[in-house]
A and B are shown apart, each in its own frame.
Chain A
Amino acid sequence: MSDTPKVGIVLVSHSAALAEGTAELAGQIAGGTVTIATAGGTEDGRIGTSIDKVEHALRLADGGVGVVILPDLGSSVLTVRALLSDADDLPDQVVVADAPFVEGAVAATVTAAAGGDVKAVLGAAEEARHARKL
């Protein structure tokens, strides 16, 4: 199973610390076999989003079998959409998950670690909306 390429995850947040911390948490829970790339904050380290950072993360996360992108809030979604509609030569099978950031990242990474395809990983992220924690 470990030799089979896995769906990659991209976490897009206004905050670099939030993106990196969420990646660390999801990676630990899922056992560390999935590539999670982050695009947090602006180019100069402020709170915000960067289309170049998202594109870079997308290429890092691509293992050839698809990438699921999780944006945190508001303009993260707009930045991801702008990239997907404008950029040329992006990896195949890139999808954006409409999901809570932390829960979605954990559920998506676990499903990717189990060998799920893009559809399964996207579904796991989006089902996280309905998960109760109490």
Chain B
Amino acid sequence: MPESCEASVTLAGDLHARPAGALAVAAAKFTSSVELTVGASRADAKSVLAVMGLGASSGQQVTVRAAGPDAQEAVARMVGILAEATKVGG
């Protein structure tokens, strides 16, 4: 039975191209599906263009949801990247 997991993080900076790339590269290495939600917009975290298309900016809350055998690790990794990478911008 696939496990699912969810966590939220408030962005310390805008979600620019480089952090979006880092997220997508990391997300694609997990078996689980990984989705980001910002307000009413949702994106497949494995698609860099979809992640950039969220237009997520500083102060917004991003919710990460993963479903699959490595969902917990995937969510932890995404939250870590979102917290770190948006600090330096891109």
Contact = CB atoms under 8 A, between A and B. Distances in A.
A124 B22 CA distance: 16
Contacts of B50: 131
B48 interface: yes
A110 B25 contact: yes
Interface stretch (A13-21, A56-64, A112-120): A112-120
Nearest to A133: B53
A131 B29 contact: no
Given A111-B28, A124-B47, A131-B47, A31 B21 contact: yes
B20 interface: yes
Give the interface size bracket for A toward B: 20 to 34
A106 interface: yes
B25 A113 contact: yes
Q: SS class of chain B's interface: helix, strand, loop or mixed?
A: helix
B11 to A, nearest CB: 18
Contacts of A72: none
B22 to A, nearest CB: 6
A134 B54 CA distance: 8
14 contacts: A28-B18, A29-B17, A29-B21, A30-B48, A31-B25, A106-B48, A113-B25, A114-B25, A114-B28, A114-B46, A128-B49, A131-B47, A131-B49, A134-B53
Interface of A: 1, 25, 28-31, 103, 106-107, 110-111, 113-116, 124, 127-128, 131-134
